[in-house]
Structures are given as structure tokens and as C-alpha cells.
Amino acid sequence: MEVRYTDVDYLVFSDAASLVASGKSPYQRSTYRYSPLLAFLLVPNSIIHPSWGKFLFSASDLLVGLFIHTILELRKVPENLCTCALMVWLFNPFTFSIGTRGNCEPIVCAMILWIIICLMNGKVLQAAFWYGLVVHFRIYPIIYSIPIILVLDPHCFLYGLKPALSSWVGQGNSTQSIPSTAVPESCGIWIALTSMFTRARIMFGLISGAVFFAFTGLFFYLYRWEFLHEALLYHLTRTDPRHNFSIYFYHIYLHYEHEFSVVERLISFLPQFLVQLVLIVCFAQDLPFCFFAQTVAFVAFNKVITAQYFVWFFCLLPLILPWSNMKLKWTGLSCILLWMGTQTHWLMWGYLLEFKGKNVFLELWIASILFLAANTFVLIKIIRYHTYSSLFQRLEFSSSDNDLKEGKKSN
């Protein structure tokens, strides 16, 4: 068969797991660029059955569905909307094929959603633990660090208390009157700066950092520089000249004989950095939406894009759908068809290049430009039709007795 169903990555995980099972380093397996935790999880591939990993990833896929339902239920989304949003994940052919093909992304998605649930329940320490672990497991969730810190706003979130969540109140209506990132008029700069360092924020930063460094330190002790290079540094400096959905692949291939200068690297990083910064500043308080928009932009502007990365934002899409005014006919359909159409267009040229040996590098690169345009269009539409809704309600202090009261809804 020309194109196998099982992902090549699954064979890599399995080989690494069998190396671990025989007491060796998983990094003896060429192209294994993940945390050793993944190899440990797949050791039963060698003992029980080679499909153990696929069952694990598929179970994580279902767990993501459970967490989506939990999050929407906590925000009092009506049951019918919950079900529709859930179906977007569970019946999405991209997502269920990723797990069954043997890709580990559903585990990462489950951890991200669990972090959101922990924050919604006021469990900062738990959220911090899982956040440190997920960043160790897969570097990309580091982009969520600033929004999480910002959402732990002292006006909305007090350490040790369950925060008040803003509920779904129907499309078109926002539940937060004033963004809590606004600085009170009477505060000076020093007070504003010091008020940023709340107990919740400090604890989250310390615990997540400690967990990340603990796991990293442990595996560095076991596997030394090979682990550090393959599991961490490789992802930070990765430039892959082989064809992928990124607009940069052909540029990298055409210039691969020469080392890229620092200026060239900075220029290619600038779009990513700017978009992430603006999305965080604009949408941090609406945490699920901020996560979603950041992830779409991160994937679209990355130097390497493979199909498994799409799962990173597909798991967040159901969390924002109840707050979207976009109608399926015809805006929604046009977004879906445009995104899938440009992707299929790219896959066609990719197939001709890789499996038929035709020189279609230029056509493939143009297809990747069109795919970036489609991603941009879809993201703009989603932003345009989204009803901004802060995750947490603003807390109000009573001047007479210092009791905390829930913030009033803006309706």
C-alpha cells in the first residue's frame, strides 16, 4: 500500500518503547523526538499487544469528549448546544483518525482541557502540575502561559476559592462588562505592578516551573544530552526542508546549503511573535477562545506544519462554538469548505511529488500559501463572529464589610 493507515510516528514510538523495555535509551531510535514518558506509556506495545498505544490514544480521544462536555456544563451551556459542540470533536474525521492511526496528540489535548477544568474549579496547584507536565511532554503549550497568568486576575480569581464562572446567556450577549485587565484609575504604576504578583499567579508559575524542571532534570539524569537535544532543543530550532503545509518549506529547501543568519531567523519568527502577543492582549480573559485563536495562529505560522497539529485546535473548537454567531449557512460552510479544499489541494501536489516523483515544488509551495490564506480567513471570521465572554466573573468588594460578592452580569 502506498500510503499506510498507521502513522510513521507510531512505529517510532513503538520502537522507542521496545528499546526502553530492553533497558536502553529510547533515543537510540532515530527520529524519536518526544519525552521518554511517551515511550514508557507504550511499553505494553511490546508486552501486551502492538496496538496498545492506539487503544490508549483512542481512549484519550474519548476523554477529551468527556472534558469538553464537563467544561460546557460548568458554563451552563444548554444540553442541545453541548451535544452539537461535542459532536464536532467526536465525529470529526481528522480527530478520530489521528488517535486510531497511532498519534499521541489526544493525550496532550486531554491534558490541556483538564488544565482548563482545574482553573474553572479554582484548583490552581493541580492546574500548575498538569501544565508543567504538558509543556514537558509537548513544548507548544508554553504559548498558553501568559493567558493563564492573566486570567488569574485578582479581580476575578482568589487563591483557595472557587471562582465564579460566567455562564452562557445566549449568543450575542457578553457576560463581562469591563475587562479585568483594566487598571483602576486610582492606582499608581508601582501598585499596578505589584498587584500583578498575586498568590495564585506566583503559585502557578512556581509549581508549573518546578514540575517542568523536575521531569526535565530526571530524564536528563537518565539520558543526558541526547534527551535534551532530541526532546527539547530540536523543537526550538527545527527547520525542515522537506515538504509540509508550512509556507516556509520551499524557502528553507532552496537555502539549505547556506546557514540562515540571525536576522533571517528573527524575521521569520516575527509574524508568529506579533500575532501571539496581540491575541493574548485582546482575548486573554476569554481563556478558551484565546487558547483556540493562539493555537490556530501558532500552527499556521509555524515553520513546520503536519496534519497532527490540527488536533491541537480542534479540541478547543467545541469550547467556543456556543459563543459564536456564525451561521452554518453559508459563512460556516464556506470556512469549512475553504479550509478543507486548500488542504486537499496541497495534498494532491504532495502526493504527486512524493509518490509519483513529479517536480511540483512550485505548485506545492503555492498550495501552502493558499492554505495559509485559508487559515487566516477562517480565523478572522471566527474572531468576527465570536461573542467575547470572560471565563471568570468579576468579584466585587463591599466597602462596608469587605465581603466578596459576585460581579453583576452585564445584561
Partner 1 sequence: MPPSTVSYHMESWQHVQVHICRILGIQLIFLVGFGFCMSSSFVSCEVGGCTSNVGSTNQSLNIPPYFEKHITKSYFDKYDSLLDSDFLDFISHELFPGSCELLLDNLNLVLRLSVQQRSLIGDGSHRHLSSSFRFNIQSELIAELPIHFCEAIIIEKLPYGIFADPFELQHLLQRGVFMGAAVFGDTNLELPSVHSNRSLVEVHMDVDLNTFSRHKDGLEINIDLPLHIRYPPLEESGYSNIELGAPDLFMRCSIEAKSHNQSCLLMLKDNGVALGNGPVVWRVPSGIKAHARAVSIVTFISAILSTLSIVLTSVYYSSTKLCKNLKQS
Using CB under 8 A as the binding rule, the residues of this chain from 234 to 263 that contact partner 1 are: 240-242, 247-248, 250-251, 253-257
Closest to partner 1 by CB, 198 vs 294, is 294
Q: Any bridge partners for residue 165, and if so which?
A: 392
Cα–Cα distance between 397 and 403 in angstroms, integer?
6
Residues from 172 through 191 that contact partner 1 (CB under 8 A): 174, 176-179
Which residue in the set 64, 82, 279, 305 belongs to the binding site for partner 1 (CB under 8 A)? 279
Amino acid at 192: A
Find the shortest distance in angstroms from Cβ 90 to partner 1.
Answer: 17
Residue 31 engages partner 1 in binding (rule: CB under 8 A): yes
Q: Closer CB to partner 1, residue 60 or residue 198?
A: 60
Closest approach of Cβ 387 to partner 1, in Å? 8
- Say if residues 176 and 287 touch (Cβ distance below 8 Å): no
- With beta carbons less than 8 A apart as the criterion, state whether 378 and 335 touch: yes
**Matching residue, cell 492546574:** 127
What is the size of the binding site for partner 1 (CB under 8 A)? 83
Contact predicate 228/220, CB 8 Å: yes
| Site membership for partner 1, residue 206 (CB under 8 A) | no
Report 301-320 residues binding partner 1 (CB under 8 A): 301
Q: Which is nearer to partner 1, 333 or 380 (CB)?
A: 380
Q: Return the amino acid letter for 20.
A: V
Nearer to partner 1, 152 or 379 (CB): 379
Q: Is 282 in the site for partner 1 (CB under 8 A)?
A: yes
Of 78 and 194, the one with the shorter C-beta distance to partner 1 is 78
Rule CB under 8 A: choose which of 267, 328, 333, 404 binds partner 1. Answer: 267
The whole-angstrom separation of Cα 75 and Cα 165 is 7
SS (H, E, C) 176-199: CCCCCCCCCCCCCHHHHHHHHCCH
Helices and strands (H, E) in the chain, number of each type? 19, 2
Q: How far is the CB of 99 from partner 1 (least distance, A)?
A: 16
Cβ proximity to partner 1, 198 vs 317, nearer residue: 317
Residues 108-167 that bind partner 1 (CB under 8 A): 114
Q: Which of 82, 207, 275, 287 binds partner 1 (CB under 8 A)?
A: 275
DSSP 386: B
Type of residue numbered 246:
S
Q: Are 269 and 387 in contact (CB under 8 A)?
A: no
Asked whether position 404 contacts partner 1 by CB under 8 A, the answer is no
Round to the nearest angstrom and report the end-to-end CA distance of the chain: 59
Q: What is the SS3 assignment for 33?
A: coil
Footprint on residues 338-397 left by partner 1 (CB under 8 A) = 353-362, 365, 369, 372-373, 375-376, 379-380, 383-384, 386-388
Longest CA pairwise span in the chain (Å): 78
Does 46 help bind partner 1 (rule: CB under 8 A)? Answer: yes
* Neighbouring C-alpha atoms within 13 Å toward the C-beta of 53: 28
